[in-house]
């Protein structure tokens, strides 16, 4: 039944994405907030499917840490799940993503409607400038910016190298960084069809100040908070910031 429910959810999610992407093209003449409201119906419908078909729900801790002004979110990236859930958790937003995603039929069409920060990963240092230039414009327009500092999805129980693009953006835009940890990958892993029932924990940390600070220090603070929190909420042996691995329950 686990496999059948997972396959059914995957098929329905793909169909739902196609419907929203195709119909979303009709919203091009509308203001971007209206386009965002329509495209985010995919996230709302998708999470509803996951809850009702797969028994996969979530809780959010630390909502009181969400600032009243547009900010940069630096978050763990383990699954496709958080790209949907963040749309319900945070105010209207754009994501930093590789530009190749915009070329994907249906999904890319829907993403393009929202003017994401699409970067060329092969551009090296210029990729950071792409994030900063486009990100500052979005933030000043009142849009939040979602950054996955590890650059790609990582398997549950592991960590990748943290990049400083999000910290540089927040520093130059004069806004705070909001760190976020979650264990979605333990229920729906990267490149996996299986979606296990349970409750994903999303933890939002206190905002990190960026004024008069080096981007490397901002990134290090965000990394330490995220990885320490991951070690606490993960049900898998998880490398903590001090080295080694610990197995933690859902404390």
DSSP for 92-158 reads SEEEEEEGGGGGSTTHHHHHHTT--EEE-GGGTHHHHHHHHHHHHHHHHTT-EEEE-TTSS---TT-
| Residues whose CB is less than 8 angstroms from the CB of residue 8 and which lie 6 or more positions away in sequence, other chains included | 53
Nearest 10 degrees: CA dihedral of 14, 17, 19, 24? -160
**Nearest 5°: phi and psi at 244?**
80, -175
Cα 21 to the center of its chain, rounded Å: 19
| Residues whose CB is less than 8 angstroms from the CB of residue 1 and which lie 6 or more positions away in sequence, other chains included | none
Residue 239 pLDDT grade (very low, low, confident, very high; cuts 50, 70, 90): low
Average pLDDT over residues 14-24: 92
Identify the pLDDT of residue 124: 67
Identify the pLDDT of residue 11: 97
Residue ranges of the domains in the chain? 2-247
Q: How many degrees, rounded to 5, is the angle at CA 158 between CA 155 and CA 161?
A: 105
Q: Is the pLDDT of residue 82 over 70?
A: yes
Identify the pLDDT of residue 243: 45
Q: Which two tokens stand for residue 129?
A: 């400038």
CATH number of 2-247: 3.40.1130
Residue 161 pLDDT grade (very low, low, confident, very high; cuts 50, 70, 90): very high
Residue 115 pLDDT grade (very low, low, confident, very high; cuts 50, 70, 90): confident
Q: What does DSSP say about strands 245-247 and 117-119: parallel, antiparallel, or unpaired?
A: unpaired
Q: Is the pLDDT of residue 247 over 60?
A: no
Average pLDDT over residues 36-64: 97
Q: Are 186 and 111 in contact (CB under 8 A)?
A: no
Q: Are 72 and 166 in contact (CB under 8 A)?
A: yes
Q: Is the pLDDT of residue 122 over 80?
A: no
Q: Is the pLDDT of residue 238 over 80?
A: no
Q: Is the pLDDT of residue 240 over 60?
A: no
Identify the pLDDT of residue 244: 44
Q: Which two tokens stand for residue 175?
A: 């806004």
Q: What is the pLDDT of residues 180-197, one digit of tens each?
A: 999 999 999 988 999 999
Q: What is the pLDDT of residues 200-217, one digit of tens each?
A: 999 999 999 999 999 999
Question: Cα separation of 54 and 61, whole Å?
Answer: 22
């Amino acid at each position: 039944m686990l496999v059948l429910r997972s396959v059914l959810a995957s098929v329905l999610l793909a169909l739902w994405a196609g419907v929203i992407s195709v119909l979303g093209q009709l919203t091009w003449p509308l203001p971007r907030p209206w386009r965002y409201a329509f495209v985010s119906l995919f996230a709302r419908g998708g999470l509803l499917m996951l809850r009702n078909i797969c028994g996969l729900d979530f809780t959010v801790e630390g909502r009181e840490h969400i600032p009243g002004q547009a900010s940069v979110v630096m978050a763990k990236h383990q699954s496709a799940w958080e790209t949907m859930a963040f749309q319900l958790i945070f105010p209207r937003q754009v994501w930093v993503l590789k530009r190749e995603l915009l070329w994907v039929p249906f999904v890319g069409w829907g993403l393009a409607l929202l003017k994401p920060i699409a970067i060329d990963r092969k551009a090296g240092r210029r990729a950071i400038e792409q994030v900063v230039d486009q990100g500052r414009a979005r933030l000043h327009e009142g849009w939040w910016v979602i950054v996955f500092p590890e650059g790609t999805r990582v398997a549950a129980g592991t960590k990748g190298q943290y990049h400083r693009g999000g910290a540089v953006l927040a520093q130059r835009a004069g806004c705070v960084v909001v760190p976020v940890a979650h264990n979605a990958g333990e229920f729906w892993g990267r490149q996996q069809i299986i979606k296990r029932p349970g409750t994903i924990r999303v933890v939002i940390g206190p905002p990190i100040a960026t004024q008069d600070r080096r981007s490397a220090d901002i990134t290090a603070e965000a990394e330490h908070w995220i990885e320490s929190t991951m070690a606490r909420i993960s049900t898998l042996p998880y490398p903590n910031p001090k080295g080694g691995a610990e197995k933690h329950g859902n404390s």
